Amino acid sequence: MSAQPLLTEPAVTPALAAEHGLSDAEYALVLEIMGRTPSFTELGIFSVMWSEHCSYKSSKVWLRQLPTTGPHVICGPGENAGVIDIGDGLAAVFKMESHNHPSFIEPYQGAATGVGGILRDVFTMGARPIANLNALRFGDPRHPKTRHLISGVVAGIGGYGNCIGVPTVGGETNFHRSYDGNNLVNAMTVGIAPADRIFYSAAAGVGNPVVYVGSKTGRDGIHGATMASTEFSDDSEEKRPTVQVGDPFTEKLLVEACLELMATDAIIGIQDMGAAGLTSSAVEMADKGGLGIALDLDQVPQRETGMSAYEIMLSESQERMLMILKPGREDEARRIFEKWELDFAVIGRVTDTGRLVLTMHGQTKADLPVSPLVERAPLYQRPWEPTPAASPLEAGLGAPAGRSFDDLLLTLMACPDLASKRWIWEQYDSQVGADTMAGSGGDAALVRVHGTDKALAMTTDCTPRYCAADPVEGGRQAVAEAWRNLTAVGATPLAVTDNMNFGNPQKPRIMGQFVGCIQGMAEACRALDFPVVSGNVSLYNETSGEAILPTPTIGGVGILARTGDAVGIGFKAADLTLLLVGATAGHLGQSLFLREILGREDGPPPPVDLAAERRHGDFVRALIQDRLVSACHDVSDGGLVVAITEMALAAGIGADLPGLARCDAAFLFGEDQARYVIAVPAGHVAEIQRRAAAAAVPLTTLGTTGGTTLTVGEYDAISLKRIEAAHEDWLPHYMASLAP
Amino acid sequence: MKAAVIVFPGSNCDRDVAVALERTTGKPPVLIWHRESELPPLDLIVLPGGFAYGDYLRCGAMAAQSPIMRAVVARVQTGVRVLGICNGFQVLTETRLLPGALMPNAALKFICRTVGLRVENADSAFTRRFQPGQVIHLPIAHGEGNYVADAETLARLDGEGQVAFRYCDSAGVTSDAANPNGSADHIAGVFNARRTVLGLMPHPERAFEPLHGNTDGRMIFDSLLEALS
């Protein structure tokens, strides 16, 4: 975009429409809707509203398969964030959203504004944000750009979240070469609101004032939504001007000012200005209310002089909100925003015309019908092909000859996906709010609901290598693992937000991955009573034709009825009995053992038995809530021995595991699902065995906690200090070194 | 004990410390907006953690110029106790109520973790419930907590008992490995000469109740309650 004022607007032609990302058929539809050639500003509005990012044109028909209702659901997908009832008159409001493309182009600002954007989605609904999580995927650690991306993304997430004062309590970080050209930043925010005071975005009341609050509008981020709707090529550096710049201090003021105004009854509707800025917020508010909006763009607070209507409407400047107020309440609202030193301007009125009319300098810059802009947005049934089934692994795979058990375990515990991510999460304030019970490093984070004895549990999960090998199974597994992680801290899982990250949907192979993952997710969400209440889709995560692994990140939220019920993964004490819940067949396909030890990424992912997941999870949760369990950890990446090792490291207490004598590598490191390791006082073992038998849950005695070493079956004891050094050192050493 | 918490735009630990004060004294503290210029009668003023004015200039530099800080400085002359936590410590050094300055952490990264601290002086309203030399643990969360002062000032702080806390390991031994941010002389908290003003980087309000997994911070609030009631 030109930094100079556009004195004359370019003539709108089919070629200009194509430059705006509209296909020939889409532009023909624009002409039909308008009945004339659109103005330059109108073309810009159509192009962003119909971008993949804003319209979900490739994904919408499939997203409808996901279950979105349930007894706890107050508001499902379609608003700024999902809302669920958590009792005591309170609601949890949450959503996850990607900021992948900007975070690759400009990692600090891209990640920071990702956090800022998702926070706005949550407080727009009337909730005070209480926690952030981040699911990150980076390329191969040996890729020259990876270190720079990690450094910038982590600093950006911390820079925003730490300043605004919302604790960053969890997330995940994985590495795979498929993300070399497209790292993923999926940011999730959870907030709390009074259940009877949720704010929605629909406009109402002809003549009511349309109010702009927050930061001024500048030329940053113009066409960000369009940028995020195409593949990258080698020129992605040139797209830096499309990345927005974050100001967490202003957003902190905006949170406080909005919540202060929300405590009154002056607001009719409110919508944050995220992707496609003022355009999408005004259009969505008008469309949801079945009304029109007239805006006087001269009234929009502007950071720069000489901005055109096109630039004002397409700017993605951060920390801005649009509100419809009750008539006569402008002064009251203005006083609150002035106290917080934020811009406040009445920029228009609600109308009954059903049209978005924009005037500037006394001229009409745009006049278009709202409903067709939204309802007639293109919707594609893209051709798709199912992912071919992976060939099963040959029988008898095991540890390579000559590699000791020590070596295998240390290699796994220090591999990029399993190594400690402390270097990352210590850069985030995880405790502000003084309600954090458990942050990163466990199965799920726990944050007390302020002023109550309840806590919310939250987690993000996805195993992209499973999704690539079998999208349906991978979709099931992502949901099941999130559900398991909430269960493992003692919480009752309630609902899900999803963040679908995929390649180019115009390729049938990629579309097939999307379709398969949705199918698996839908099955798992139904089987586990775990509805999807919000979500986001990020497509075109490809560079020069290379797509990322399919990555449907699941953000799960659950409730812990009593904070005292919580358990962590650390052993807590010596002389506890270690039990394995669930059956082990020794599934090595797509396992980390296969990848890190045998150098192979093949085979089918572990099958997910949703009935077993449900049965085993309900069994474990009841044990925890009945206070029979001292520590619990779900078994996932790396398998059984890795899970036990993580429990030992978390507490600095070792274990002796005679129950694993004569077990092969597949048993020790296979990634069979629906499993948990629990550490229980010896006096509770008989009761737990009785319950397991009654519920038909497989239960195996593994051994006992104690000491400072880990002894697996007949192998020599390994000192925890040695494992800890390997596990903790990988990431800081990697970040500090210059070599790959 | 009548307490007030000063709220700057960008403060974000104001509620947390207000909760700790209310649970200590049984009554909520007064929250005072930065634009005020008058203070009610008080025994304790708390400057909370956060990013006052965004900390876009030096941390605490803008807050030090706010109207309310003139009133705080006046109260310090009369002996009212002032506790500055994290960003509040930065405001106190910028206001010159405490010597020295807080620079970016030596590793140039924000750090959030629980650290060991040695109580260097238990003879104050803030620390009287501790034993001298006692080792406690408190969380830190800051990007600019690297305490610096000239050699003469450091010698005076040490000699006059103005060092409140030093970073240490769990045995109470100070070392570079136990110093999270590169602070001179491992200093985590300092008093003014009269020991009526304390600034510290760690967050006692985050180690206040069993849910936090550690209640060492509560001792600071209990000390104040005992001294000022």
Residues of B in Cβ contact (< 8 Å) with A451: none
- Inter-CA distances, A176 with A241, A296, A452, A465, A597, Å: 28, 49, 41, 9, 16
Angle between helices A685-695 and A610-625 (to 10 degrees): 150
Q: Determine the residue type at A388.
A: P
Residue A234 confidence class, pLDDT cut points 50, 70, 90: low
Contact: B50, A434; criterion CB under 8 Å: no
Query: How many Å apart are CA B80 and CA B67, to the nearest integer?
Result: 18
- What 3-state class would DSSP assign to A265? coil
Q: Give the count of alpha carbons within 13 A of A415, CB side only.
A: 21
> Residue A243's pLDDT is what?
77
> Is A380 exposed, middle or buried (CB count within 10 Å of its CB: 0-12, 13-18, 19+)?
middle
Alpha helices in A247-320 (DSSP H): 248-262, 277-289, 309-314
Residues of A in Cβ contact (< 8 Å) with B211: 435, 437, 448, 563
Query: What does the block give as tokens for A284?
Result: 């969505």
- What 3-state class would DSSP assign to A693? helix
Domains and CATH numbers, chain B: 3-228 (3.40.50.880)
Residue showing tokens 């104690």: A706
Q: Give the count of alpha carbons within 13 A of A271, CB side only.
A: 26
Q: Judge contact between A258 and A123, C-beta under 8 A.
A: yes
Q: Which of A164, A340, A431 sits opposite B141 (nearest CB)?
A: A431
- A53 flagged as catalytic: yes
A245 touches chain B (CB under 8 A): no
Contact: B54, A427; criterion CB under 8 Å: no
Q: Which of B50, B113, B205 sits opposite A434 (nearest CB)?
A: B205
- Inter-CA distances, B213 with A455, A461, A679, B114, B178, Å: 15, 26, 20, 11, 21
User: Shortest Cα distance from A151 to chain B (angstroms)?
Assistant: 10
Question: What global pTM score does this model have?
Answer: 0.96
Question: What are the tens digits of pLDDT across the range A236-262?
Answer: 666 666 778 899 999 999 999 999 999
Please list the rounded mean pLDDT of every run of 10 residues in chain B (229 residues): 97 98 97 96 98 92 94 97 98 98 97 98 98 98 98 98 98 98 98 98 98 97 97
- What 3-state class would DSSP assign to A355? strand
| Cβ atoms < 10 Å from Cβ of A69 | 10
Q: How many CB pairs under 8 A join A and B?
A: 78
> Residue A239's pLDDT is what?
65
Element (H, E) at A487: helix A471-488
A1 has a pLDDT exceeding 60: no
Q: Judge contact between A619 and A581, C-beta under 8 A.
A: yes
Contact: B111, A427; criterion CB under 8 Å: yes
DSSP string, A402-427: T--HHHHHHHHHTSTTTS--HHHHTT
A11 touches chain B (CB under 8 A): no
Q: Judge contact between A574 and A705, C-beta under 8 A.
A: yes
In chain A, % helix, strand, coil (3-state, to 5) comes to 40, 25, 40
User: Shortest Cα distance from A329 to chain B (angstroms)?
Assistant: 24
Q: Judge contact between A489 and A629, C-beta under 8 A.
A: no
Average pLDDT over residues A468-486: 98
Query: How many Å apart are CA A126 and CA A537, to the nearest integer?
Result: 24
Beta bridge partners of A368: A356
Residue A2 confidence class, pLDDT cut points 50, 70, 90: very low
| Cβ atoms < 10 Å from Cβ of A327 | 12
A177 has a pLDDT exceeding 50: yes
Q: Which of A165, A435, A437 sits opposite B50 (nearest CB)?
A: A165
Question: What are the tens digits of pLDDT across the range A563-617?
Answer: 999 999 999 999 999 999 999 999 999 999 999 999 999 999 999 999 999 999 9
Query: What does the block give as tokens for B73?
Result: 């400085």
Contact: A162, B141; criterion CB under 8 Å: yes
> Residue A5's pLDDT is what?
43
> Residue A225's pLDDT is what?
62
Query: How many Å apart are CA A31 and CA A47, to the nearest integer?
Result: 13
| Per-window interface: A 124-183 vs B, CB < 8 A | 155, 158-159, 162-165
Query: What does the block give as tokens for B52?
Result: 């006052």
Contact: B54, A162; criterion CB under 8 Å: no
Question: What are the tens digits of pLDDT across the range A112-137?
Answer: 999 999 999 999 999 999 999 999 99
ipTM: 0.97
Question: What are the tens digits of pLDDT across the range A133-175?
Answer: 999 999 999 999 999 999 999 999 999 999 999 999 999 999 9
> CA gyration radius for chain A?
26
Query: What does the block give as tokens for A48?
Result: 């962003």
Q: Judge contact between A277 and A314, C-beta under 8 A.
A: yes
Query: How many Å apart are CA A106 and CA A515, to the nearest integer?
Result: 31
- A176 flagged as catalytic: no
> Residue A39's pLDDT is what?
95
Chosen for mutation from A157, A160, A163 (greatest number of chain B CBs closer than 10 Å) is: A163
Query: How many Å apart are CA A672 and CA A668, to the nearest integer?
Result: 10
- Inter-CA distances, B28 with A677, B31, B46, B48, B87, Å: 44, 9, 13, 15, 22
DSSP strand pairing (A73-75 vs A492-501): unpaired
Residues of B in Cβ contact (< 8 Å) with A253: 9-10
A264 has a pLDDT exceeding 60: yes
Question: What are the tens digits of pLDDT across the range A328-371?
Answer: 999 999 999 999 999 999 999 999 999 999 999 999 999 999 99
Query: How many Å apart are CA A396 and CA A334, to the nearest integer?
Result: 72
Question: What are the tens digits of pLDDT across the range A651-685?
Answer: 999 999 999 999 999 999 999 999 999 999 999 99
> Residue A245's pLDDT is what?
85
In chain B, % helix, strand, coil (3-state, to 5) comes to 30, 25, 45
A259 touches chain B (CB under 8 A): no
> Is A682 exposed, middle or buried (CB count within 10 Å of its CB: 0-12, 13-18, 19+)?
exposed
A492 has a pLDDT exceeding 90: yes
Residue A4 confidence class, pLDDT cut points 50, 70, 90: very low
Q: Judge contact between A255 and A316, C-beta under 8 A.
A: no
Element (H, E) at A34: helix A24-34
DSSP string, A560-627: ESSGGG--BSS--SSSEEEEEES------TT-HIIIIIS----SPPPP--HHHHHHHHHHHHHHHHTT
A241: left (phi over 0), alpha (psi -120 to 50) or beta: alpha
Question: What are the tens digits of pLDDT across the range A201-226?
Answer: 999 999 999 999 999 999 887 776 66
- Inter-CA distances, A453 with A87, A513, A560, Å: 12, 42, 9
Residues 6+ apart with CB under 8 A from A543: A180, A181, A182, A231, A232, A233, A236
> Residue A237's pLDDT is what?
61
Query: What does the block give as tokens for A409?
Result: 């375990």
For residue B65, the 8-state DSSP code is G
For residue A722, the 8-state DSSP code is H
Residues of B in Cβ contact (< 8 Å) with A250: 54
A3 has a pLDDT exceeding 50: no
A76 has a pLDDT exceeding 80: yes
Query: How many Å apart are CA A458 and CA A84, to the nearest integer?
Result: 14
> Of B86, B94, B120, B142, which is the active-site residue?
B86
Exposure letters A264-301 (e unless 16+ CB within 10 A, then b):
eebbbbbbbbbbbbbbbbbbbbbbbbebbbbbbbeebb
